[in-house]
Amino acid sequence: MSTRNRELLNLGFAAIVASAAFASVSIVDTGLVTARWLGYVGVIFGLYLIAHLVARFTVPYADPTLLPLVGLLTALGLTVIYRLGPDDARRQAVWIALGIGLFAATLFWLRFDYRVLERFKYIFGVSAVVLLLLPSLPKIGHRVNGVNLWIKVGPLQFQPGELAKIFLIIFLAGYLRDKRESLARGRLKDLGPLLVIWGAAMLVLVQTSDLGSALLNFGIFLAMVYAATGRLVYVGVGLTLFLAGSAALYSTLGRVQQRVTVWLHPWTDQKVYCSINGKLDFRQNCDSYQLVKSLYSIANGGYGGTGLGKGTFKTVDGTQLIPYLNTDFIYSAVAQELGLIGAAAVLLLFMVFVARGMRIALIAQDGFSKLLATGLTFGLALQTFIIVGGVLRVVPLTGITLPFVSYGGSSILSNFLMLALLMLISNRAAATAVNR
Amino acid sequence: MNRQITQVAGLAMGLLIALIVATTYWQTWARPALAERQDNAIQRVAQFKIKRGLILSPSRVLARNREKQVGGQTFYFRRYPQGKLAAHVVGYSTAARARTGLERSLNPILTGSARSLTSLVDQALDKLNGKPIVGDTVVTTLDLNGQRTALGALGSACGAVVALDPRSGKVLVMASSPSYNPNDVERNYGKIERIKADCTPASPLLNRASQGLYPPGSTFKVITASAALQSGKFTPTSTFVDPGYCTVYGKRVNNFDTGRPFGSLSLATALQYSVNSVFCNIGLDLGARRILKQAKAFGFYERPPLETPESERLPSGLYKGGRLYDPRRDRDVDPGRMAFGQERLLVTPLQMAMVAGTIGNDGILMRPFVVSKTVTPNGKTRSRTRPTKIRRAVSPATARDIAAMMVRAVQAGTGTAAQIPGLEIGGKTGTAETGVAGNNTTWFIAFAGEPGQKPKLAIAVVLQNQSLTGGATAAPIARQVMQALLTPTANP
């Protein structure tokens, strides 16, 4: 069977699973067994069919599992978002459509050779830093929940950090391919650019007070440096610098400080200072409210979950229990309704994606492609770890999205861009192998 | 470069595996502890998706459900049609506050979670079909007419009335004053906080009938007299000389009414007129531990068994520094004062009703109960309470002798205010002085029935902050409640 036919088959499997999820939510929602949900499934499956046809035309040899995996993750995310608020789901569906549009456009544009990107690596590098700093600029910057992550131009809101991440990976892939020989030899003067990047990361951290995105970008950077040079000393120095920098800034970054306190001691037996209203209260009723309520939500799922559409996310008077449930905390909704089995299955989907992505990096022929695939794949894994780990109290909680699952336009668009790049790399690697 | 890429891939996989491990931790190991936490709103919400069983009295609905649709889900909120009438026994179940009363202690039954395996399978099927879980109905033994009479008679006084059938232990009245309307707990809690009564704080939520501890005063003489007869050292005709006081540790302890020494009198007469000096001397003779042993036979030093929550039932006995205190040696307490109900003795009305009931029931203490049966949603009886004997507290002869003395106290003694024509009533008054005028705790305990038959009713009435005696304040209330419960015309 050809690669693309396998992709179509996989998409069919994904559609069956997604249909079951849609049907379940629809039945719980209306109390009736109707075929209304078939319409929704049809629209989403149609979109992915278009993506598949574009891939058939542009990247015939590309990995056949990535697109179905993404299809399943977005459909699952959409189901949970619909269950939490149908209006958001409609918007999310539009974003998925736009994301597939971006995916198709990228494939068309770069179908002959994506390696032209390498030529513009410095433009990507500078753009990444600018994009990261944009939200902290006056006028267009928009502060949400104490973190500068958004820009607002007229009615449009955008989270440029998501795009910046991809630009940064493209830059690093190009730059490290250039310098990996000299870096591997460990010449001190080549450390300069690394220090510049570290400085930029610190600057971004101070400007946005967003530990999550700083950690994500710096982690991707370190992973790529290691992949390029094979020298652990860079990772060690980098981590030390990052930790030292964060520690030095710790006392001035109230937000970060609070997040760490909440992480270490979410529950208190005595009333403590509450930074939200300035009064004394138990921390679980105040600063760590979100985290604690989310843990209750996850725990409520148990092994099998409450079932899609049957979880408890509101109090009896209809107020939302967990703020930002369909973005940062979507995992705790998934974990409650699908239980350990379902949540682990979602994480396994991510693991399959990561395995396929890393395989692409392994079979790619040139250094740029290898580093690009490594960076993109590791970025996905690390981002998943930071947000889900934050929700699970493995690491301090920072607000970033769960790729392909969370509600949010910027996130969906940039993740489809990532998917397009991985498929381009994969296509080229497989095509070379076939032609040889 | 492939070696490094493999290592980075390993790290990425490791991070994701860590997430699966962490998810497993929260969803399995940590799950029970998180579910228990007070601030876990999910658990509270889940309870409101269950259609709780009803709580009934033999004739009326005490707690029912009101369906409400919120965001596409059906929730069941509690309504208490009888308001404050049975508030303390039934308790409340709300979203804003924890549960109390039977709503709390019988939650597993009312929510259907205490069921057998077969019905749990049915329950799982219902869940799949989208039907709500329906709990079992609880039928109480409360007599609402008696409850109404008791609360009415208590009026603005702080106090409690407990009435039970001594032959079975069936609780008919458990009233605490001031009461509150459980329907106000969810949305109008301020109204409950503003309730006023003849004591401060008014504590309307406190179930004084089983949670209130009061000095027993002379009602304790029933226990001392029982110990005296059981010891074989005394008989009802044993004679004493009353000088109007008694000397303990070189100090004079006066009778309640010091102006009138009785001179020579029998034990029976001493109980009839509640003569302190006689009981004081019996106490000195028997010693504290012998009397306490008799008290324990009546149920002291253990929480009276009842279906209400454990925290809402307190044991009676000697208290020291807020804690139950069981002296190891006789000389640790003053037996003379203890014998007539002083000396840090604290008792609950429920316990004293059990004492009166035991005397009326030929010396056999029955296990009190307020739930007669539980019924499944489709009308089948799931369980029925059978009267259970706790133990024999005194010999039948002692019980008959004490009962006769108590009958005399009502016929021509301290408790004449409790007389009801056509009924034979035996009672004992109690007045515990705090030394401050208008601050007495007054008591009346009694049993009642048709002459020549076993008593059908035992009662205990306590009142706080009184300026008169138990015979003048508590006995009339007991009479009203007994009349309501025993006179057929007043009990439709």
Decide if B16 contacts A347 (C-beta within 8 A).
yes
Would you call B27 and A316 a contact, using CB atoms and an 8 Å cutoff?
A: no
pTM, two decimal places: 0.70
What percent of chain B has pLDDT above 70? 92
Q: Where are the alpha helices (DSSP H) in A251-398?
A: 254-264, 289-301, 330-363, 367-391
Rounded to an integer, the average pLDDT of A55-64 is 93
pLDDT band per the 50, 70, 90 thresholds, residue B256: low
Q: Is A374 on the interface with B (CB under 8 A)?
A: yes
How sure is the predictor about B260, in pLDDT bands with cuts at 50, 70 and 90?
A: low
Q: For strand B371-375 and strand B73-79, is the pairing parallel, antiparallel, or unpaired?
A: unpaired
Tell me which of A294-298, B120-124, B183-187, B479-483 is least confident.
B120-124
Take residue B263 and report the two structure tokens written for it: 């001179």
Q: Do A303 and B28 make contact, defined as CB atoms within 8 angstroms?
A: yes
Most confident range (mean pLDDT) of A31-35, A38-42, B179-183 is: B179-183
pLDDT at A5 over 80: yes
Average pLDDT over residues B413-438: 87
d(CA A376, CA A198): 19
**Region B451-455: what's the mean pLDDT?**
91
Average pLDDT of every residue of chain A = 86
pLDDT in tens, B33-56: 888 787 788 877 877 888 899 999
Q: Say yes or no for a CB contact (<8 Å) between B16 and A351.
A: yes
CA gyration radius, chain A? 22
pLDDT given at position A358: 96
Q: Six-digit token pair at B320?
A: 């020291």
* pLDDT at B168 > cutoff 90: yes
Between the alpha carbon of residue B236 and those of residues A148, B273, B290, the distances in Å are 90, 14, 18
Q: What is the pLDDT at residue B492?
A: 43
Average pLDDT over every residue of B200-226: 94
Residue B449's DSSP bridge partners are B424
- Predicted confidence at residue B490, as pLDDT, reads 46
pLDDT on residue A203: 77
Q: Calculate the CA B174 to chain-centre distance.
A: 7
SS3 of residue B390 by DSSP: strand
B37 at A interface, C-beta within 8 A:
yes
Residues B330 and A47: their CA atoms lie apart, in Å, by: 90
- Report residue A321 as tokens: 């229990």
The answer to whether residue A195 neighbours chain B at the CB level (below 8 Å) is no
| φ, ψ of residue B246 in degrees (nearest 5) | -140, 150
CA distance A45 to A18: 9
> Helices (DSSP H) in B106-235: which residue ranges?
107-110, 117-128, 144-154, 184-187, 189-193, 208-211, 221-231
Mean pLDDT of the residues in chain B:
89
Counting one residue from chain A and one from chain B, the pairs whose CB atoms sit within 8 A come to 158
User: Which residues between 282 and 321 in chain A have a beta carbon less than 8 angstroms from any beta carbon of chain B?
Assistant: 282, 284-285, 292-293, 295-303, 312, 314-318, 321
- Angle between helix axes B2-24 and A367-391 (nearest 10 degrees) is 10
Cβ of B397 under 8 Å from any chain A Cβ? no
CB contact residues (below 8 A), chain B span 352-391, against chain A: none
DSSP string computed for B285-314: HH-HHHHHHHHHHTTTTSPPP-SS-GGG--
The predicted pLDDT at position A86 comes to 85
Name every chain A residue with its beta carbon within 8 A of the beta carbon of B20: 344, 347-348
Amino acid A131: pLDDT: 85
User: A384 vs B19: CB contact, 8 Å cut-off?
Assistant: yes
Q: Is A338 on the interface with B (CB under 8 A)?
A: no
pLDDT band (50, 70, 90) for residue B436:
confident
Catalytic residue among B93, B218, B274, B277: B218
> What are the pLDDT digits (tens) for A266-308?
888 888 888 777 788 888 888 888 899 999 999 998 888 888 8
Residues 97-156 in B contacting A (C-alpha not used; CB under 8 Å): 130
pLDDT for the residue B12:
96
Touching check for B42 and chain A: CB below 8 Å?
A: yes
Residue A228 above 50 pLDDT?
A: yes
Q: What pLDDT was estimated at residue A234?
A: 83
Residue B218 among the catalytic residues:
yes
A52 pLDDT higher than 80: yes
Inform me whether the C-beta atom of residue B6 falls under 8 Å from chain A C-beta atoms: yes
Categorize the per-residue pLDDT at B491 as very low, low, confident or very high, splitting at 50, 70 and 90. Answer: very low
In this complex, do A335 and B77 lie within 8 Å of one another by their Cβ atoms? no
Q: Which residues, numbered 61 to 80 in chain B, qualify as contacts with chain A under a Cβ-Cβ cut-off of 8 Å?
A: 68, 70-73, 75, 77
Q: Is A316 a residue whose pLDDT tops 60?
A: yes
* pLDDT for the residue A173: 93
The answer, yes or no, to whether residue B103 has pLDDT greater than 60, is yes
Q: Residue B446 and residue B163: Cα distance in Å, rounded?
A: 9
Handedness of CA A81, A83, A84, A90 (dihedral sign): positive
pLDDT at A154: 57
- What tens digit of pLDDT does each residue of B126-156 get? 666 667 788 899 999 999 999 999 999 999 9
Find chain B residues with C-beta within 8 A of A229's C-beta: 4
- Determine what percent of chain A is predicted with pLDDT higher than 90: 45
Residue B253: predicted pLDDT: 66
Q: Residue B336: which of B436, B241, B254 has the closest Cα?
A: B254
Distance from CA of A204 to the nearest CA of B (A): 25
Contact B242, B255 (CB under 8 A): yes
Q: Contacts of residue B27 in chain A, CB cutoff 8 Å?
A: 298-299, 301-303, 335, 339-340, 343
Q: What is the mean pLDDT of residues B276-280?
A: 89
Q: Could you give the CA distance from residue B435 to residue B164 in angstroms, rounded to a whole number?
A: 32
Specify the range with the lowest mean pLDDT, choosing from B92-101, B166-175, B437-446.
B92-101
- Note which residues in 108-127 of chain A have CB less than 8 A from chain B: none
How many residues make up chain A in this entry?
A: 436
Q: Hey, is the C-beta of A355 within 8 angstroms of any chain B C-beta?
A: yes
Alpha-carbon distance of A143 to A228, in angstroms, equals 37
- Arithmetic mean of pLDDT, A99-107: 96
Query: Averaging pLDDT over each range in B64-68, B158-162, B414-418, which range is the top one?
Result: B158-162
A12 vs B263, higher pLDDT? A12
Highest mean pLDDT among A226-230, B317-321, B399-403: B399-403
Query: Does residue B177 carry a pLDDT above 60?
Result: yes
Is the Cα torsion angle A240, A242, A243, A247 positive or negative in sign? positive
The span from the CA of A392 to the CA of A340, in Å, is 13
Nearest to A68 by CA among A127, A139, A17, A111: A17
